[in-house]
Amino acid sequence: MLQRSAISSTIRIDQASLYRMAKKFVLQGSDKDRELTIDYPAELNSEQLDAVLRGDGPCLVLAGAGSGKTRTITYRVAYLIEQGVQPQEILLLTFTNKAAREMLERVERLLGSSIDGVWGGTFHSIANRLLRVYAERLGYTRHFTILDMEDAKGMVKLALKSMKIDPKARRFPSPAVCMNILSYTRNVGGSIQETLEVKYPNFVELEPELDLLAQRYSERKRQANAMDFDDLLLHLLQILEDPVVGPQIASQFRYVLVDEYQDTNAIQARIVNRFASAHGNLFVVGDDAQSIYAFRGANVQNILNFPDEQSSVQVFKLLTNYRSTPEILQLANSSLKQNLDQYQKDLVGLRASGEKPSIVPAASTRQEAQYVAEQVLAVREEGVSLGNIAVLFRATSHSQLLEMELLKRDIPYEYRGGLKLFERAHIKDVLSYLRIHENPKDEAAWTRLLLMQPGIGAVTAEKMAGGLTRADVLQDAFTLAESQPVSAKVKTGWEVLAAILRDVLAEASEPSKMIRAIAASGYQEYLEREYPNWRDRLEDIEQFALFAESYDSLETFLADVSLYDDVLALKEKGKSYDDERIVLSTVHQAKGLEWDTVFILHLADGSFPNRRAMEEEGGIEEERRLFYVAVTRARKSLYLTYPLTMGADTLVLNRPSMFLDELDPRLFERIELVHAPMARAPRVRDSWSWEDGYADDVIELDVHGEPKRGSSHRYIESNSSSTKTAWKSSKSVGSKKLPKSLLSDIEDL
């Protein structure tokens, strides 16, 4: 078999060229004058119609948000079949099997007949079908196994074991992190060294071992006749580039259509080009403005460079938006204009004019959460169902306080893009550290933390936890553990845990300080080793600490957290799928969805845009595209919120996101939050103190966190019973608050 392949490579027969040179014989009944059953001009707008009817050859369809992308692809497939193209000659590549299935079902409804034979599905599913036929050319049998993520992780563990590496026993990435490193490297077509330098700088010194791991992992898959998801794509490309079978496969597909082309990576773009190499009918649909998956290896340059890499490309633009009001689209268009590396296009809305988007600065993250929760209830009172309301955010950490506010107000919600707050492993870890500090007899918490330590397995953890619960105070637990005879490996693991617990003990005054002590301790090293997204988890923990700042007592804090957790569990247990709930989602998870009312949280500098993303090449433009995606999820109402300050022990002033600063003020309405007025006694001359300032001081901050000197902006009152106390804020010098009369003097320094 290898010998035959070598001969073919030597001869270098360009079968694709031979196919294009071949004479054509047109079968009767497949001519282009056949009667059409679909009235395309009546069903499509002029932009869509142009793409559907004239889409032969290489075509790029730039489909703006809400412009009918799916409709255009569906009608294009139907039109091809009505023109006499056989279903098996059509290849439709998508990023979810659900999308392909729904499109092809729509085509069948349009035509009123079956279209069995169309090749529709994800890159991976199409790869699987073809590799079942050609696997033997690659040294596999056609009965190869596809490894899911857990299977692949298990094989990485075996490869690490063969290298005598125990990730728990030393500072080495976990199997999950190793998988991410290997996968990203293969998808972008780079080297492990490049991946480590860009994505995992903490592990750069481990490059030789990770290179060896990649080799061992590949060998084990071969021995097991198994492929992981990345192998499916790489081996498909290998088959398509085979000089013998590649042209045969390409000649089968007269028309190739690709959905969401902006999300393709380097390997997928090469696969697409090989599929279309025989006939040249390549119809790619996408929107460079919605390219937001660079962290997975997607390359926006694939869609931006498409006209330069194909010959005689037709470019169609779908700019008519059916989703959002003109006011929302004007804001979205204005923001996107700041990007340089893009196709110039402005969405035009068909909806009736509505209200301007609102920008809402809040005094703090807590007030931001209170406002959103109260406004959700107000919007519901206006007749908008909870299911038509969404709250979007850049990172899961931004939603924590809002989750608490929703629970307090009994507002049901559905969380997308991750687990709810108390379901997240790192939050459970932090709570275990705190629970042990409060109650050393908590065996479950001891067991959880012991299992995280190097050198400690399940049996040892269970035995040690049982012994440690004999302690009445945490200090006694240290004494008990150190008196037990254990192996050197177990002793090392215990010392790591004890060091973290002592850091927590040193900050025993307040829950927030204890949480931050955990994050700054050896626990951070554990997160780095264990999770690819460890930075996001640290941000989660910081937000959890901010929530804890309103508590002076650890006992009260843990009791309230348990109550929140219990209430949430009861709600989840009792809910039905018909329950109406608002959606809480990361922006990435919200792509392709839409709601009547959308809130975008935490639009503060360093949060959205994400500070880390801004440090990467092209990062700012990708973050702006992410903001654009978030904005264009809204149909009728859009609220953009951010906190002016963060923290309480140490007040940090926030600037608004650069994406808000860039906007023309005429495109939005600013809302300032004030609490419902309260009656108060006349100020007493001597009522000021270093500890509390004046008891009735209220200082309003402007959008930059500075004391406000008059304003013409509109005010909204917060009428929740939980927020009817006057909001009190003042400039801080160290930990002492100064009276208003001194503030102007400080500002002049």
Q: How far apart are CA 20 and CA 17, in angstroms?
A: 5
Residue 609: what residue type? P
Catalytic pick among 259, 287, 429, 542: 259
Is 241 labeled as catalytic in the residue annotation? no
Please tell me whether residue 1 adopts helix, strand or coil conformation: coil
Cβ-count burial 567-579 (b if 16+ within 10 Å, e if not): ebeeeeeeeeeee
Is 290 labeled as catalytic in the residue annotation? yes
Is 259 labeled as catalytic in the residue annotation? yes
**What is each CA distance from 104 to 100, 175, 516, 560, in whole angstroms?**
6, 38, 52, 51
Q: How far apart are CA 657 and CA 653, in angstroms?
A: 13
Catalytic pick among 231, 260, 528, 623: 260
321 CB-near residues (< 8 Å, 6+ apart): 64, 65, 66, 67, 329, 347, 348, 349, 350, 632
Is 260 labeled as catalytic in the residue annotation? yes
Round to the nearest angstrom and report the end-to-end CA distance of the chain: 82
Catalytic pick among 47, 48, 69, 396: 69
Q: What is the 3-state secondary structure (H, E, C) of 407-426?
A: HHCCCCEEEECCCCHHHCHH
Residue 597: what residue type? T
Handedness of CA 395, 400, 401, 407 (dihedral sign): positive
Is 15 labeled as catalytic in the residue annotation? no
Handedness of CA 421, 422, 425, 427 (dihedral sign): positive
Residue 255, phi then psi, degrees to nearest 5: -130, 125
Identify how many contiguous H helices and E strands the chain contains and give both numbers: 33, 22
Catalytic pick among 264, 290, 365, 586: 290
- Torsion angle of the four alpha carbons 181, 187, 189, 190, in this order, in degrees rounded to the nearest 10: -20
Please tell me whether residue 682 adopts helix, strand or coil conformation: coil
Catalytic pick among 317, 633, 636, 737: 633
Q: How far apart are CA 630 and CA 601, in angstroms?
A: 10
Is 565 labeled as catalytic in the residue annotation? no
Extract long-range pairs of 101-105: CB within 8 Å, 24+ residues apart: 102/70, 103/70, 103/73, 103/74, 103/77, 103/259, 104/77
Catalytic pick among 15, 50, 70, 655: 70
Q: In 381-484, which ranges are E strands?
A: 389-393, 413-416
735 CB-near residues (< 8 Å, 6+ apart): none
**What is each CA distance from 28 to 82, 89, 118, 253, 293, in whole angstroms?**
14, 18, 22, 21, 47
Q: How far apart are CA 319 and CA 550, in angstroms?
A: 48
483 CB-near residues (< 8 Å, 6+ apart): none
In what helix (H) or strand (E) does residue 499 lie, and over which residues does it extend? helix 488-506
**How large is the greatest C-alpha to C-alpha distance in the chain, in angstroms?**
101
681 CB-near residues (< 8 Å, 6+ apart): 696
In eight-state DSSP terms, residue 32 is T
Neighbour count for residue 703 (Cβ, 10 Å)? 18
Decide if 117 contacts 87 (C-beta within 8 A): yes
Handedness of CA 150, 151, 157, 163 (dihedral sign): negative
Written as one string, the DSSP assignment of 518-558 is: HHTTHHHHHHHHH-TTHHHHHHHHHHHHHHHTT-S-HHHHH
Handedness of CA 421, 422, 425, 426 (dihedral sign): positive
Catalytic residues: 69-70, 259-260, 290, 633
